[in-house]
Amino acid sequence: MTTYLGSTAASSGLLLPPSTARSSLCSPYSSSLKCLKSSTSISHLFLNKRRSSAINVTGGSYRYNTLLVCAASDPDQLKSAREDIKQLLKTKFCHPLLVRLGWHDAGTYNKDIEEWPQRGGANGSLRFEVELKHGANAGLVNALNIIQPIKDKYSNVTYADLFQLASATAIEEAGGPKIPMKYGRVDVTGPEQCPEEGRLPDAGPPSPGDHLKKVFYRMGLNDKEIVALSGAHTLGRSRPERSGWGKPETKYTKDGPGEPGGQSWTVQWLKFDNSYFKDIKAKKDEDLLVLPTDAVLFEDPSFKVYAEKYAEDLEAFFKDYADAHAKLSNLGAKFDPPEGIVIDSDAPKAEPEKFVAAKYSTGKRELSDAMKQKIRAEYESIGGSPDKPLPTNYFLNIIIVIGVLAILTYLLGN
């Protein structure tokens, strides 16, 4: 299986096959890994406490720690965790790795399975050893190593939320669009709830276009969303010793930032823009990676229309990508509260309806409520009300009467 998005600390691509990638995973007898430590501070503010077990790699072997997991995340802790993630990105340059972490937790979703958590999706299951060992997740233990201290610090944030928060923040901090995220995802409670291996896409299948459609259609995504999400390959690198794809290094990766080496899809592989589409279309730089699942975006007619559009229109790409990323991050998730938690205070406010005469002159039997309120406000501003008519202007009435009489007299005289 493949990985979704390349990392800087453990670089691998959005659609990379396992090949030799499994060598980067920690083994049960590894002595150097200290990932996935369970939080020792359990807050009394948990909305719903339950027993769970999480993998802890210490002392040369895996062991499971019992801990309490909250059913929903605390908004204030989510905001603080986001600030810590921003600082982490400035020092670790791990934007692609964190994007991939969120994608791989959500990308196991199967729309044909109704039950949670059997349907997969964004539920925090990627923290368990059984899922970490999936070939598509090679190297993601490094992402968990990086982000675990933040989880320890903010125990009222679920793993499912933290993975998606890190992914969206990485996109935004790399110069990408603002992702309309919501939080409150419930975590699975044990490794037995992890999805089976095989739900994530390959990079070099016999028929790349059909393969992408099969995998992403199963998630409930369409052709436009497949192409838009593929554009996230503007971030990251592939390492042949881990994935079997790419060059050991290029002129764009030999000096980092982060750990040197690997082959990137774009020249500035820590900058989120539409270079991915432009570079695939140009086919001019041999130092840039193009996988079969990348090339097919300009070959398959149902993909090509969007790939061509995004290569020319950055604004359109950003809009469609933000929508697709948000949709992916919610796949399969169970939210508590059901409507989710929004932590951004700068969400766009609804603007009052503008008056357009044509909208009300034909084809409308009744004015909208907004327009009724607007007319009533204007009526009341000059002294009228539903219970009181406008004050009579007697002088104006006399003038009108005199004018009418004068006209009648003239007409009768003639």
**CA–CA distance, 206 with 225 (Å, rounded to integer):** 22
Q: Going along 233-327, which residue ranges are E strands?
A: 237-238, 263-264
Cβ contact 367:102 at 8 Å = no
Element (H, E) at 57: strand 49-58
Cβ contact 318:176 at 8 Å = yes
Q: Is 95 a catalytic residue?
A: no
**CA–CA distance, 266 with 274 (Å, rounded to integer):** 10
Helix ranges (H only) for 33-191 are 75-92, 95-106, 129-132, 140-153, 159-173
Instruction: Give me the amino acid identity at 241.
Output: E
Q: Going along 59-109, which residue ranges are E strands?
A: 61-70
**CA–CA distance, 100 with 144 (Å, rounded to integer):** 11
Question: In the structure encoding, which two tokens stand for residue 36, read together?
Answer: 């996935």
**CA–CA distance, 372 with 29 (Å, rounded to integer):** 72
User: What is the length of the chain?
Assistant: 414
Cβ contact 306:321 at 8 Å = no
Which listed residue (104, 134, 211, 325) is catalytic?
Answer: 104
Question: In the structure encoding, which two tokens stand for residue 101, read together?
Answer: 């972490």
Using a CB cutoff of 8 Å and minimum separation of 24, what contacts does 60-68 make? 60/29, 60/30, 60/31, 61/28, 61/29, 62/28, 62/129, 65/38, 67/38, 67/39, 67/42, 68/42
**CA–CA distance, 283 with 233 (Å, rounded to integer):** 16
Element (H, E) at 361: helix 357-361
Q: b or e along 199-230 (b: 16 or more beta carbons within 10 Å of the residue's beta carbon)?
A: bbbbbbbeebbebbbebbebbebebbbbbbbb
**CA–CA distance, 189 with 306 (Å, rounded to integer):** 39
Instruction: Give me the amino acid identity at 67.
Output: L
Cβ contact 333:122 at 8 Å = yes
Cβ contact 196:133 at 8 Å = no
Catalytic residues: 104
